[in-house]
Amino acid sequence: MYRRDVHAHLPTARHAWLYALPCVHLPRSVVCHGDRYEHVRTFKHDFFAATGLYRGPQGLCVLKLGRFNPILGVPMAWVGRFLRWQEERAYADLGELPGLPRYVGRVGTTGFLHTFVPGRVLQKGDRVSDSFFDQLAALLRSMHERGVAYVDLNKPQNILLGDDGRPYLIDFQISLRCPRPSPWLPWRYVLRWVWSLFCDADGYHLLKHKRRLRPDLLTEPERDAAGGVGFWIQAHRLIARPLTQLRRRLLTRLSRSETVDVAGSAAK
């Protein structure tokens, strides 16, 4: 379990508010369902979460700790709890679909463990198999049939190229569930329409990755779809890109004045 007092002796970052945890390191060990898991390495530590590799009775697992660190004295653990709840809902809805890690259990107030998928994130220049994107498309269809839009497929680091050559998806903290029919939810039809737009965006981003890595496999309809950008994706880019660029410039400037090396911060 993560507790602030356990790591009070560890160094803190000068700009600690930028990070999910108040200290620069993940816990040396955590407990899940009464079993202890030991830290192996840190993958990422950013504003919303810290993730790392742990070893325990279930083998290698990934710990994800949602934000616990306050900002200017304002409690922010509710953000970490919400993000954990978001991912837990996705794992519950999707069950044990091939291509997804298996949910293990909660850790502390904002964290959870899922099984580790041997492999690496999808990278520019990777040569994937002829069936890789067909398998990824089938995984997305199964997710949509279960009422979950992935939403974050534009980031190649969310797609794993498994050691077995198959695609895997991780990180469901901004995934979107299709609203269930209910007479108490008058806006459900609008929300379902929005959900369908995100499902379409999943398909578009899949074709974008396919165009970059295996353009030889694109059919003519897929080539046309990958080259066209819908209104909503254009609108998202218009709003999100300036904010992303501003955030990156801010983080670069602050990192130059940092007094300690925050493990995993370079993965932002």
| pLDDT values of the chain reduced to their tens digit, one per residue, 268 residues | 444 433 444 555 556 778 888 877 899 999 999 999 999 999 999 889 999 999 999 999 999 999 988 988 899 999 999 999 999 999 999 988 999 999 999 999 999 999 999 999 999 889 899 999 999 999 999 999 999 999 999 999 999 999 999 999 999 999 999 877 665 666 677 788 889 999 999 999 999 999 999 999 999 998 888 876 655 555 555 555 565 666 566 656 656 655 545 555 555 5
Tokens representing 43 are 């993958």
Tokens representing 221 are 């309809």
233 and 127 in a single domain? The answer is yes
85 and 180 in a single domain? The answer is no
The verdict on residue 46 lying in a domain is yes
Q: Which residues contact 34 (CB under 8 A, 6 or more apart)?
A: none
pTM of the predicted protein model: 0.81
What residue numbers bound the domain in which 82 lies?
A: 17-116
Tokens representing 175 are 């995934």
Question: What's the structural domain count of the chain?
Answer: 2
The verdict on residue 268 lying in a domain is no
The verdict on residue 247 lying in a domain is no
110 and 122 in a single domain? The answer is no
Residue in this structure with the two tokens 């390495």, named with its chain if needed? 41
84 and 140 in a single domain? The answer is no
134 and 90 in a single domain? The answer is no
102 and 138 in a single domain? The answer is no
Question: Reduced to 3 states, what is the DSSP secondary structure of residue 92?
Answer: helix
Residue in this structure with the two tokens 């609203």, named with its chain if needed? 179
State the Cα angle at 123 between 122 and 126, rounded to 5°: 95
Are the C-beta atoms of residues 77 and 109 closer than 8 Å to each other? yes
The verdict on residue 6 lying in a domain is no
By DSSP bridging, strand 59-66 and strand 111-115 are antiparallel
69 and 98 in a single domain? The answer is yes
111 and 150 in a single domain? The answer is no
Q: Could you count the other beta carbons within 10 Å of the beta carbon of residue 186?
A: 8
By DSSP bridging, strand 167-169 and strand 176-177 are unpaired
54 and 141 in a single domain? The answer is no
